[in-house]
Structure 1
Amino acid sequence: MIYCFSGNGNSLYVARLLAEGLGDSVKRIDRDCLLHSEKYDCAGGDVIWVFPIYSWGLPRPVKEFMKTVNISGARHFMVATCGDDIGLAHRQWRDIARSRGWNAIATFSVQMPNTYTLLPGFDVDSHEIEARKLEAAPERLRMIVSRIREGWRGDDVVKGSFPRFKSKIIYPQFMKHGINPARFRCDTSLCIKCGKCKAVCPVENITLVDGHPQWGDDCALCLGCYNVCPVHAVNYGNATLRKGQYRCPLI
C-alpha cells in the first residue's frame, strides 16, 4: 500500500510511478483518512509513505494519520519530495514509526520543482530548473523501487546545510505560528468562480460562497489553492504577491 499526501501534485506523481514499479496501489491521505483512519487499517506487505516536506518537516495530515491508523506486520518506507533538501524530516518520520512499533526500513528523498513561496527569497523554480528536476525524477524513482524490492535499509536523503536548525528550530515555529488560513484572500474582481481551489484542497478546508473561496481552520498550508488558481486571484496575505505558481504538469 502507498499512502500519499499531495497538495500540488509532485508527491502524487511520485506515488503513481512507485505504484507502477511495485505493482501497488495508492491511497491519498485526505480528510476522510483523518476522520476515519480505522477504515484504512492494513496488515502485512510493504507500506510506502509519500509526502512533500513542509519547512523541513512532515505535513500535519501525515503525522496525524500515522499516529492513528493501525498497521501490523508491514515493512515501512518513506519517500519524501522536496525542492532541495529535507533537513532531519526522515528522523521525524522514523520517530513516529518507532512510537507505533512499526518496522521502518528505509527513507528516500526526491527533488521535485519547488512549490513554497511564502518567505522572502522563496519562489517557484525557473522553467529550466523545473524541467531538469522533472526529467531526473523517473531514474531516481527506478532506483528507489529497486531498493524497496530488495529491502535495502538506510537513509538515502539530502539533508542539506544546517539540518538540525531547520528541523528542530524552524519547523516547530512553522507548525506553531506559520499556518494561518485567515491570511488567505481571494480577489473577487479577478475570481472566475471555477472552483478549482476547492477541488484540489486535500483536507477539504475550502467552501464556496457565491462562487468565491472561503477558508476554514483546518489548513495544511500546501498552497494548492494558490498554485491552481488560473487567474492568480488567490493570495496568502502579501507573501505571494508577484510570486510564481507551480502545479505538477505530469498528473
Structure 2
Amino acid sequence: MKNNYSDVQVSPKGNQTTKITIFYFSGTGNSLWAARALARELGNTELISMVDWDINQRNIDSQLIGLVFPVHIWGVPKRVLEFLDQLQAMSPDYIFAVANNAGQVSNTLVQLHKVMKSKGLVLSSGWSIVMPSNYIPWGGPGSSEKQNELFAAARIKISDIVQEINRRVKKPVEKGPLWQRIVFTWLYKLSFPHVPEMDRKFWVDDRCNQCGLCVQLCPKKNITMLGEKLVWENHCEQCLACIQWCPQEALQYGKKTPAYSRYHHPEIKVKDLMK
C-alpha cells in the first residue's frame, strides 16, 4: 500500500478524556474485533453498531469518530455509504476509518474519502488491516496457523493506528496497488447494483433444523422462515453472516461451499452481533 507521506499532518495530541465514538459494521466478527481492539487501546471509546444505529439513533457529541467496516467486493459496503448521511449531522473534528480485508483493500478508502468529500465531510486518515477472509464462495479462511498470523499482525497494526489517532494524524488513506484500483474498482462498479439479488445463490441442505438463527442475524432482515423453508428476499448485503454462523453448516452458496470451512472471528460470539 502506497501513501504520499509528505502530505502527513500532525495535530496536537488530544487528552485521554476526549470522548471517541466508533461505528462499526460486522457480519462475521472481524470488524467488531478490530473496533474493540481500537477501543481498548484508545480508551474512553463507545462502540455503536451501524445496524443498531438504524433503529436507535441519538445525539452524538464526540469530536472524534471512527468507522470500522469490511471491504465488500473491493469497495465500501452500501450500509456504510448510507450511514455517511447520518455522520453529517454529528459534525466531528476528526474522522478516521479502518477497512478490514483479506489482502486486497484496493480503492476502498479512496472511494470513501471521495464520497465523504462530496457530502462536506473530511476523512482525516484511513487504514487497511488484513484479516482472514469470510467470503466463503471463493474458499475458506485458511489454516488456523495462518489465521493466527493475521490476527497477530492486525494487533500490531492496530497499535500503530492508535498512536496516529492519538496524535490526530491527517494523511492520505491507504490503498492497494494501481492494478487493483483499476481492475477491482471496475468490478465493484459493475457488481454493486446487483448485490441485493446476489442472495439468489443461497440454498439450504437437509441439515437445517429451522433454528432461525440466520433470520435473527441478518442485518437487512432479508431472510424469512415460511413454514420449514428459508426465503431470501433480494435485499442482501453480502455480509455472509447467515452462512458463516449457521450452527449446522446447512446454509450454502453456489456449488462449492459444502467443501469449505466456515469462519467467524474466534473472539466474537454470535450474541455480540445480536445486541
1:24 aligns with 2:45: yes
Which consecutive segments of 4 or more residues in structure 1 shift more than 4 A? none
Question: How far off is 1:153 after superposition?
Answer: 1.6
Alignment partners' CA distance in 2, 1:90 and 1:13: 19
State the match for 1:149 in structure 2: 166
Share of identical aligned residues, percent?
28
1:106 aligns with 2:125: yes
- Aligned to 2:136, which of 117, 129, 134? 117
Question: How far off is 1:126 after superposition?
Answer: 2.1
User: Contact conserved, 1:108 with 1:155, CA < 8 A, in 2?
Assistant: no
Alignment partners' CA distance in 2, 1:242 and 1:161: 34
Question: How far off is 1:44 after superposition?
Answer: 4.6
Alignment of 1:170-181 (within 5 A): 170-179=187-196, 180-181=198-199
Question: How far off is 1:208 after superposition?
Answer: 2.5
Alignment of 1:60-209 (within 5 A): 60-69=78-87, 70-119=89-138, 122-155=139-172, 157=174, 159-160=176-177, 162-179=179-196, 180-187=198-205, 189-209=206-226
User: Contact conserved, 2:25 with 2:32, CA < 8 A, in 1?
Assistant: yes
SS in 1 for 2:188: helix
Pair 1:88–1:195, CA change in 2 (3 A):
same
TM-score, with normalisation over the residues of structure 1? 0.88
- Aligned to 1:216, which of 233, 236, 243? 233
TM-score, with normalisation over the residues of structure 2? 0.81
Question: How far off is 1:243 after superposition?
Answer: 2.2
Alignment partners' CA distance in 2, 1:230 and 1:208: 16
Alignment partners' CA distance in 1, 2:46 and 2:25: 14
SS in 2 for 1:81: strand
Using the TM superposition, name which of 132-141 and 1-10 deviates more: 132-141
Corresponding residue pairs, total: 245
Structure of higher CA gyration radius: 2
1:53 aligns with 2:71: yes
User: Contact conserved, 1:44 with 1:75, CA < 8 A, in 2?
Assistant: no
Structure 2: state its 5+ residue gaps. 1-20, 269-275
Alignment of 1:7-18 (within 5 A): 7-18=27-38
Question: How far off is 1:85 after superposition?
Answer: 2.1
Amino acid at match of 1:81: N
User: Contact conserved, 2:108 with 2:175, CA < 8 A, in 1?
Assistant: no
